[in-house]
Amino acid sequence: MAPTQPNILFIITDHHAHFDHSRPGEFEFAPPVFERFCSQGVRFDRAYAVCPICSPARASMLTGLYPSVHGLRWNTEATRMPGNRTDFATGTRLYSHFLSEQGYRSAYVGKWHCGHDQLAADYGIEGWSLPDYGKVYMSEAYRGYANERGLGDARARIEHYLERPEWEGKTLILHHESPWRFMNGSGVLVGPPEAHEESFVAHLAVEKLKQLAGADQPWSLVASFWGPHQPYYPTEPYAGMIDPGSIPPYPSFEDDCRGKPLRHLIHRDLTHGPPRKYWPDWPVWQEVVARCYEQQLQLDAAVGTILAALDSLDLTGNTLVIWLADHGDALASHGGVWDKASTFTEEVARVPMAVRWPGELRAGTRTSRLVSNMDATATMLDAAGASLPAGMHSRSLLPLCRDPQAADWPDQVVCEHNGHGDNILQRIVVTDRYKYVAALFDGDELYDLQKDPHEMTNLLHSGEHAGVCEEMRARLIEHIECTGDRLAAARLLYALRHGL
């Protein structure tokens, strides 16, 4: 047990459009609560999702292991994908098991998406969660919350909707057996802010904090949101806060994807319609993107109520807070795409991420060192005084927070992608300058992120970068051998290409 153990609040947002949606001098978008939070702690400017898909990323943040090792390689709904686990294997140790050994009480509220049959409670974590993605607006907990406030059923006024333009202008009750039914659109959620799932999750978190405040032991609480994942349905007054006309075209909106692997063309031209069949020109996208930003502002305010509760309960001074997203959002990038797919672009890979621990970490620190959201696991354990188990891939961020120039921090981050809706296995290495994406069943990619931050030009076949390609492949080979990547296909990829 550590001499002075902090409480731990872990805030997870979902599918967060982060890169590159605030471009100084062109368009400023800075959610105020997150900005204030960053000024009070350490901001990571180059944080990556360990995998840009919900279940694999979230499972990695709970275990500190790569998806290829914990086994949730696709979303838990992908029950027919060969080799995919839809729940953790028996005996898998989550962050909460290690914290329990240090005397912690652990709670979790909100989106789980780390189990088809097993929920947080099945791992000894108190709180509330739903199986798979979860139909929050149809849950008994939300309905009880809504009825107490006279909110009724959740309803959205649809403004734009892919593949179902006949819905536009209609107000629909957001109830359906599929959680994806109302996913691919934008509009306004009818009712006050309290009707939004973000307010609901924040309410659950605040109520849990009130319970934990009186505990005679340190605690951890995960507050996990469904937002700002599409559909982009903010409530008023957030709806209307962003002027659509002020949003310039996203830098890669007109990307022709020339020289890029097939998966990019599939996402742009075949997925969801494709989007530009329904929304061909930027003025329509401006309205959709504005709703995305407004939903982020609503989420930002919801998190603010949790942080305010920490203050009012006199918990802030001894609470480590980690705030990050599971992955990004490809919205309007690379030719005008929607959602995410089997691509590992900066838009889906980069995440907002910051850590605050008053009295322990210097406020206002900012670093561009390469980190992963999976590093949250080891950070929690380190703060609690737990020894990191052998074989854990996560690294504690605390040494880097205390010394952003720490010499022993890796000069790379390695991520995984196993496809989304298909089986395109990828292993990705990012260094300070370059990104290399190695793919099975499709082409590889190399980008110079300093000269080409929006990845418009694939340098794979550029003769002058042959040496860079060789170095990046060598980094991936070493990583695969050192991490116990269980996917035989990954080893086959390198054996075939490099004569191993």
CATH code, 284: 3.40.720.10
Q: What pLDDT, in 10s, does the model give residues 218-258?
A: 999 999 999 999 999 999 999 999 999 999 999 999 999 99
Same structural domain, 223 and 279:
yes
Q: Are strands 185-189 and 155-161 parallel, antiparallel or unpaired?
A: antiparallel
Distance in angstroms (rounded) separating the CA atoms of residues 3 and 7? 13
Rg (CA), the chain: 22
Provide the mean pLDDT of the chain.
95
284 vs 214 pLDDT, higher one: 284
In a domain, 177, yes or no: no
pLDDT of residue 25: 87
**Residue 228, domain member (yes or no):** yes
Q: Is the pLDDT assigned to residue 495 strictly greater than 60?
A: no
pLDDT, position 421: 81
- Mean pLDDT throughout 56-77? 96
Q: Does 164 map to a domain?
A: no
Whether residues 474 and 327 fall in one domain: no
Q: Specify whether 352 is located in the same domain as 397.
A: yes
In a domain, 52, yes or no: yes
Q: Are residues 357 and 481 in the same domain?
A: no
Do 244 and 141 share a structural domain?
A: yes
CA distances from 384 to 4, 101, 210 (A): 8, 10, 21
Region 90-113: mean pLDDT is 98
- Check whether the bond before 352 is cis (ω within 30° of 0): no
pLDDT of residue 1: 43
Note the pLDDT of residue 488: 60
Note whether 388 and 467 are same-domain residues: no
| Lookup: tokens for 478 | 């070493």
Residues 340 and 451 in one domain: no
Residue 166 has pLDDT above 90, yes or no: yes
Q: Are residues 364 and 486 in the same domain?
A: no
Query: Looking at the predicted structure, is the pLDDT value of residue 407 above 90?
Result: no
98-126 in b/e burial notation, b at 16+ Cβ within 10 A?
Answer: bbbebebbbbbbbbbbbbbebbbeebebb
Query: What's the whole-number mean pLDDT along residues 301-322?
Result: 99
Structural domain for 63, as ranges: 7-145+188-410
- Percent of the chain at pLDDT above 90? 89
Domain termination site, one of 410, 438, 464: 410
Point out the domain boundary residue: 385, 410, 435: 410
- Based on the fold, state whether residues 364 and 443 are members of the same structural domain: no
What confidence score (pLDDT) does residue 497 get?
A: 66
Same domain, 318 and 464: no
Number of domains in the chain: 2
- Of 410, 442, 465, at which residue does a domain stop? 410
Give the alpha-carbon dihedral of 190, 194, 197, 202, to 10 degrees: 160
